[in-house]
């Protein structure tokens, strides 16, 4: 039974009553039971936070162990028992092959290009590619251009979400998904003159090396529906509505057990109704932790964010736009942003390695902007190619 009490709007996210802000309070992400609360001030306007629970932001280029060997720089920054978030930079060809026995992997190519060898055959990758690698698959990366990867490891099998009434071709036609085909082995560059070939296997987070007297990419054919697959963000076409701001789950690209991965891409804004909300609505994280990786473009819903940054909003906290972002959105007609969202049902733990990458003043970014002389405590340093976090940030 749907009830309505007090001062509310007739339709969610449209014609919000003057002097109020709308907050969505919902179960199971945005697909379960819900309530829209109309408040006189947003619950993100805190003055201070005591304790460990707070919104966080990271510049991943600051993470330690970047570059060089593949297994060492796959630095984990957030994890739980069903999902691990890593970031890796690879500058040279891997001298061995790798197999993850702990889970499926999604490699999102933030920058770079090259080739990936797999049990099923090779693929050529480029910036903006998702490479989905089933658990137990042997693979090796051979970058031609320095490659930066967001690595999402899931204990459950990665699959496409159910598109329901909008049909299986929504967001992208399944035929654009690329799969590898075996090719003859022409050379053995990984051996460095040795007669052995190494495969490193990750199990329970630990590495074991297996050695073979023959080239491990010796598959000459395969059939079935389990394989490596590839799709680029250029082939994803967002679902849009001119009169209603769709929830983030409308942009879901992949799902796994207790994990949802969505892709936010350039799209038209809600220009069909002057009362329709354009920026993300305030909401409370109840059942999911939310992680957002900023890949490219101009992030219209927030200032001071650049490619390679991550925001983390844990369960138990509200988040949403600054009032300034709402006002600025009224004149905009399109977004020009590319970002990856990872929602996890089970709470994420912050890895110790992430400490050096944190923008420690991020939790203040919803506060009313103060004169520059009063905000000098924001000490975030700028990393090459990345934008600083500032007290003018807003969040998805």
Beta carbons within 8 Å of 92's beta carbon, 6+ residues apart = 68, 143
What whole-number distance in Å separates Cα of residue 58 and Cα of residue 348? Answer: 15
Structural domain contains residue 106: yes
Q: What dihedral do alpha carbons 157, 160, 165, 169 form, nearest 10°?
A: -160
Two structure tokens written together for 254? 């992949």
pLDDT the model gives residue 382:
37
* Phi, psi of 293, rounded to the nearest 5 degrees: -105, 125
Strand, helix or coil at 177? coil
CB 309 within 8 A of CB 59: yes
pLDDT the model gives residue 131:
98
pLDDT the model gives residue 355:
94
Structural domain contains residue 111: yes
Beta carbons within 8 Å of 349's beta carbon, 6+ residues apart = 78, 79, 80
Structural domain contains residue 355: no
pLDDT the model gives residue 387:
40
Measured between alpha carbons, how far apart are the two ends of the chain, in Å?
Answer: 30
Residue whose structure tokens are 């138990």: 316
Q: What dihedral do alpha carbons 316, 393, 261, 308 form, nearest 10°?
A: -130
Count of domains for the chain: 1
Q: Which pTM value belongs to this model? A: 0.88
Residue 36 counted as an annotated binding residue: no
Give the CATH number of the domain where residue 157 resides. Answer: 2.60.120.10
Segments of the chain with pLDDT less than 50: 371-396
Q: In what order do the strands lie in the sheet with 259-264?
A: 56-59, 309-313, 289-298, 336-344, 259-264, 252-256
Residue 235 counted as an annotated binding residue: no
From the candidates 13, 215, 245, 251, give the one annotated as an active-site residue.
245
Two structure tokens written together for 366? 């919803």
Provide the residue range defining the domain that includes 88.
Answer: 63-233
> 77: closest CA among 54, 59, 104, 103?
59
Specify whether 245 is catalytic. yes
Residue 283 counted as an annotated binding residue: yes
pLDDT the model gives residue 190:
55
pLDDT the model gives residue 298:
76
pLDDT digits (tens, 9 = 90+) for 229-273: 999 999 999 898 888 888 888 889 999 999 999 999 988 887 888
What whole-number distance in Å separates Cα of residue 320 and Cα of residue 393? Answer: 11
Structural domain contains residue 266: no
CB 337 within 8 A of CB 264: yes
Two structure tokens written together for 146? 């320095």
């Amino acid at each position: 039974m749907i009830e309505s009490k007090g001062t509310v709007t007739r339709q969610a996210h449209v014609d919000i009553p003057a002097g109020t802000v709308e907050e969505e309070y919902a179960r199971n992400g945005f697909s379960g039971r819900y309530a829209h609360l109309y408040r006189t001030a947003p619950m993100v306007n805190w003055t201070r936070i005591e304790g460990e629970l707070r919104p966080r932001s990271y510049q991943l280029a600051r993470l330690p162990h970047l570059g060089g060997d593949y297994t060492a720089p796959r630095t984990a920054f957030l994890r739980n028992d069903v999902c691990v978030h890593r970031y890796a930079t690879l500058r040279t060809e891997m001298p061995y092959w790798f197999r993850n026995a702990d889970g499926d992997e999604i490699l999102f190519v933030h920058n770079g290009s090259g080739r990936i060898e797999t049990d099923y055959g090779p693929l050529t990758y480029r910036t903006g590619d998702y490479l989905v690698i089933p658990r137990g698959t042997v693979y090796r990366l051979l970058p031609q251009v320095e490659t930066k990867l967001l690595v999402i490891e899931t204990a459950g099998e990665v699959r496409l979400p159910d598109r329901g009434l909008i049909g299986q071709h929504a967001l992208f036609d399944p035929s654009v998904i690329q799969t590898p085909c075996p090719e003859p082995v022409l050379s053995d560059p990984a051996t460095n003159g040795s007669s052995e070939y190494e495969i490193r296997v990750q199990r329970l987070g630990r590495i074991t090396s297996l050695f073979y007297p023959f080239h491990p990419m010796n598959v000459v054919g395969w059939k079935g529906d389990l394989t490596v697959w590839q799709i680029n963000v250029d082939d994803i076409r967002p679902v849009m509505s001119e009169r209603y701001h769709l929830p983030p789950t409308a942009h879901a690209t992949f799902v796994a057990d207790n994990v949802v991965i969505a892709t936010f891409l350039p799209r038209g804004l809600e220009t069909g109704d002057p009362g329709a909300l354009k920026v993300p609505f305030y909401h409370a994280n109840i059942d999911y932790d939310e992680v957002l990786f900023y890949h490219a473009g101009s992030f219209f819903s927030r200032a001071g964010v650049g490619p390679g940054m991550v925001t983390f909003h844990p369960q138990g906290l509200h988040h949403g736009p600054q009032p300034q972002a709402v006002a600025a959105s009224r004149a905009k007609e399109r977004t020009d942003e590319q970002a990856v969202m990872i929602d996890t049902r089970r709470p994420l733990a912050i890895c110790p390695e992430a400490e050096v990458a944190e923008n420690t003043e991020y939790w203040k970014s919803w506060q009313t902007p103060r004169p520059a002389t009063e905000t000098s405590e924001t000490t975030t340093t700028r990393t090459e190619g990345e934008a600083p976090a500032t007290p003018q940030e807003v969040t998805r």
